[in-house]
């Protein structure tokens, strides 16, 4: 429904709005002895949209013999002159409940506050929806090192970017051309807020820089989720979960006999699923974006170095199992939203046969450097003395996609949003 802005338009539209909501049947002569028919409590919820920071007026009307009470209003909203006057302070969705009481006391004819309860019945529910200004051509890329593009440019290994972002080489930037084709005449841009080492909780809590200019406080950090909400982009991509399962410390997921510690893995998967569900819910209720969540490709070589008590095929099978369970949780959580705006870009099959190659040098050579602190232990996923194949994994850290693997992620994401284009 279009917004009605302030005084004169409100007064002019009142007669039109009163009739369908609160008046007697069309053409009926009003009777002084009878109160007009009120809509049933089961009437469809009315939705009103507004932009953060911009005032909006939502008319209310009823018989003079009816007291109205309005509860559930968000911050920045109040009832003035028989209307809800609302200047949204943040993005979100709220349901205001309009109740009709039995009294004709005009001094309290329009009131607000959850602490007051009307003696009458609910006559209308109004869903108030607020958004930051939409940027349909923008893409915000959330997630971890895979989305950031760690390892795609060597300067990252020596402190080039604290989040190890690879500029225009990461997969979010590789999808921009295809995204632009779906938005001719619309400015397009990518903001990579993804950061190496982040898990799903970090996306909601840990501050980073890198959001779309003008959508956040100047020279300040915001959590990745907040950057996405403030940008209200056309597309949000998410790659997260590997750090929730501590892929940089694979031995934590295994017993000393080489079997998977099911209790540890399942607890981490539950926590991850809960966080991802919360992220998706906030994006759905606070943005208009389409959301593409990726799975992960199995990074382990066919004959990986592995860890103590679980090497070669033991480690390969364990990693395949754990990555498969993580990917299944990603798919299930995305599907559980029930929203057509949420899709999954699945890279699992594409990475089969493209695991890590022979590692370049032992971890001991890297100790004491920023590179060593980042990739120590990662060579467990690489081979030693098993050349060949077509690896899509970086031989330096043995877990992150190389240029070919990054293209595979970009291709999967592009195919997903192209297939689901409205």
In angstroms, the CA 235 to CA 233 distance is: 5
> What is the average pLDDT score of the chain?
83
Q: How many CB atoms lie within 10 A of CB 267?
A: 11
Pick the closest to residue 77 from 61, 68, 88, 91 (CA basis).
88
pLDDT, average across residues 332-358: 96
Task: Kindly write down the DSSP assignment for every residue of 212-277, as one continuous string.
Answer: PTTSS-TT--EEHHHHHHHH-EEEEEEE--TTTTTTT-GGGGB-TTS-B-HHHHHHHHHHHHHHHH
pLDDT band at 220 (very low <50, low <70, confident <90, very high): confident
In angstroms, the CA 217 to CA 324 distance is: 39
- Quick: pLDDT tens for 286-321: 999 999 999 999 999 999 999 989 999 999 999 999
Q: Which residues in 1-30 are b (16+ Cβ under 10 Å) and which e? A: eebbeeeeebeeebeebbeebbbeeeeeee
Residue 257: HSE in the Cβ half-sphere, 13 Å Cα cutoff? 2
Give the max Cα distance, the chain.
Answer: 95
Structure tokens at 173: 């930037």
Residue 189 · residue 138 · CB < 8 Å: yes
Backbone angles phi and psi of 41, in degrees to 5: -65, -20
- Quick: pLDDT tens for 378-393: 689 998 777 667 999 9
Q: Which domains are delineated in the chain?
A: 10-21+37-131 (2.60.40.10), 135-419 (3.40.50.1110)
Residue 299 · residue 356 · CB < 8 Å: yes
Structure tokens at 279: 């992220």
Write the CB contacts of 266 (distance below 8 Å, at least 6 apart in sequence): none
pLDDT of residue 120: 56
pLDDT of residue 123: 76
Backbone angles phi and psi of 324, in degrees to 5: -60, -40
Residue 182 · residue 414 · CB < 8 Å: no
In angstroms, the CA 244 to CA 133 distance is: 33
158 vs 274, higher pLDDT: 274
pLDDT of residue 69: 83
* C-alpha dihedral (205, 145, 278, 86), degrees to nearest 10: 60
Residue 356: HSE in the Cβ half-sphere, 13 Å Cα cutoff? 31
pLDDT, average across residues 218-236: 94
Label residue 65 left, alpha or beta by phi (over 0 means left) and psi (-120 to 50 means alpha). alpha
Percent of the chain with pLDDT over 90: 63
Residue 88 · residue 96 · CB < 8 Å: no
């Amino acid at each position: 429904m279009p917004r009605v802005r302030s005084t004169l338009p409100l007064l002019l539209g009142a007669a039109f709005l009163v009739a369908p909501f609160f008046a007697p049947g069309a053409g009926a002569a009003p009777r002084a002895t009878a109160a007009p028919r009120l809509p049933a409590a089961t009437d469809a919820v009315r939705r009103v949209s507004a932009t953060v920071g911009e005032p909006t007026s939502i008319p209310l009307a009823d018989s003079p013999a009816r007291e109205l009470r309005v509860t559930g209003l968000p911050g920045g909203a109040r009832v003035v002159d028989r209307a809800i006057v609302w200047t949204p302070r943040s993005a979100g969705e709220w349901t205001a409940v309009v109740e009709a009481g039995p009294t004709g006391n005009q001094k309290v004819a329009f009131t607000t506050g959850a602490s007051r309860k009307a003696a009458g019945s609910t006559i209308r529910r109004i869903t108030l929806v607020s958004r930051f200004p939409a940027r349909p051509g923008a893409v915000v890329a959330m997630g971890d090192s895979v989305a950031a593009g760690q390892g795609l440019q060597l300067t990252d290994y020596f402190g080039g970017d604290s989040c190890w972002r690879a500029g225009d080489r990461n997969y979010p930037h590789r999808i921009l051309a295809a995204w632009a084709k779906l938005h001719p005449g619309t400015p397009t841009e990518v903001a990579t807020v993804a950061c190496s080492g982040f898990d799903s909780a970090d996306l909601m809590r840990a501050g980073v820089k890198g959001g779309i200019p003008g959508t956040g406080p100047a020279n300040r950090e915001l959590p990745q989720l907040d950057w996405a909400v403030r940008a209200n982009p056309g597309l949000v991509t998410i790659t997260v979960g590997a750090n929730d399962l501590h892929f940089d410390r694979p031995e934590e997921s295994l017993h000393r006999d080489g079997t998977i510690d099911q209790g540890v893995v399942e607890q981490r998967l539950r926590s991850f699923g809960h966080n991802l569900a919360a992220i998706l819910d906030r994006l759905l209720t606070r943005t208009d974006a389409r959301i593409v969540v990726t799975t992960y490709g199995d990074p382990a070589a066919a004959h990986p170095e592995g860890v103590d008590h679980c090497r070669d095929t033991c480690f390969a099978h364990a990693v395949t199992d754990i990555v498969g369970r993580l990917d299944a949780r990603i798919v299930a959580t995305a599907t559980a939203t029930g929203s057509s705006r949420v899709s999954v870009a699945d890279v699992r099959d594409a990475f089969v046969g493209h695991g890590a190659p022979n590692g370049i040098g032992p971890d001991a050579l890297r100790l004491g450097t920023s590179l060593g602190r980042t990739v120590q232990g990662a060579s467990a996923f690489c081979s030693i003395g098993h050349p060949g194949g077509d690896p899509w994994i970086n031989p330096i850290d043995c877990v992150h996609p190389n240029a070919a693997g990054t293209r595979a992620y970009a291709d999967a994401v592009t195919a997903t949003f192209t297939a689901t284009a409205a």
